[in-house]
């Protein structure tokens, strides 16, 4: 590998690429250094620890230079941003894992937050409610990416159905009566949209209009 001039940014970018390619568990200081063609300890000249490298990785993943101005009804805008956030996180699953393990200390990555919050304020929510409602949607989107099977919908469905098949109908009457419905709800675009619309209805109840 050609040795370019290293910077915090170029190292973080290489780490993100490694992680997108091979998964978070494949990221080690030794392997990253290897791929960059330097000694392992060289990285410690740029980052005090692996944790600090992961922070920089999170930062480098967000490169939206400008906050776009969205047009349209608040509800439509909220759906667009939530969908975009989900798609983005599913293309970089390691970000969700890192986010679950360590808090964010840096600014940036607030673009989606800003856009959703604007939409919620436009919906007529108070500042307090807009902040809370945003957090609910945020939690849902991150939770969806983190806790939904990433395999094919087909595989996920088969897994859920076989898990439910082991349940005693006498003690689990509800679940045992609906294996197919539960399997369909385990993952996928339709399920994501269902939850999003459900939450937006809950928000609409709170919105003055």
Q: Name the site residues for a second copy (rule: CB under 8 A).
A: 66-67, 96-97, 99-101, 103-107, 110, 113-114, 117-118, 121, 127-128, 130-136, 138-140, 142-144, 146-149, 159, 163-164, 166-167, 171-175, 177-178, 181-182, 184-186, 191, 194-195, 197-203, 205-206
- Distance, CA of 52 to CA of 1 (rounded, Å): 24
Give the number of other CB atoms < 10 A from CB of residue 117: 19
Minimum CB distance to a second copy smaller for 39 or for 173: 173
CA distance to 15, 79, 86, 93, per residue, from 140 (Å): 27, 13, 10, 15
* 146: partner contacted, choices a second copy, DNA, none (Cβ within 5-8 A by kind): a second copy
CB 76 within 8 A of CB 67: no
Scanning 22-30, 55-63, 152-160, 189-197 for contacts with DNA by CB under 7 A, the matching segment is 22-30
Count Cα atoms within 13 angstroms, Cβ side, for 134: 25
Q: Which residues contact 142 (CB under 8 A, 6 or more apart)?
A: 89, 96, 99
* 39: partner contacted, choices a second copy, DNA, none (Cβ within 5-8 A by kind): DNA
State the residues that interact with DNA by CB under 7 A.
Answer: 6, 27-31, 38-42, 44-45, 49-51
């Amino acid at each position: 590998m050609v040795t370019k001039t290293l910077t915090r940014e170029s190292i973080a970018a290489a780490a993100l690429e490694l992680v997108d390619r091979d998964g978070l568990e494949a990221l080690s200081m030794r392997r990253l250094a290897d791929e960059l063609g330097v000694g392992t300890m060289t990285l410690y000249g740029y980052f005090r620890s692996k944790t600090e490298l992961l922070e920089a990785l999170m930062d480098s993943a967000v490169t939206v230079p400008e906050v776009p101005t969205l047009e349209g009804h608040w509800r439509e805008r909220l759906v667009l941003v939530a969908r975009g956030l989900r798609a983005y996180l599913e293309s970089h699953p390691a970000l969700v894992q890192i986010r679950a393990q360590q808090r964010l200390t840096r600014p940036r990555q607030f673009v989606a937050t800003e856009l959703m919050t604007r939409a919620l304020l436009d919906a007529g929510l108070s500042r307090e409610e807009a902040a809370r409602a945003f957090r609910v949607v945020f939690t849902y989107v991150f939770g969806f990416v983190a806790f939904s099977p990433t395999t094919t919908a087909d595989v996920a469905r088969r897994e859920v159905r076989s898990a439910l098949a082991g349940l005693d109908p006498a003690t689990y009457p509800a679940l045992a009566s609906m294996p197919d419905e539960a399997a369909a709800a385990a993952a996928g675009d339709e399920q994501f949209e269902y939850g999003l619309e459900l939450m937006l209805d809950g928000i609409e109840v709170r919105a003055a209009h």
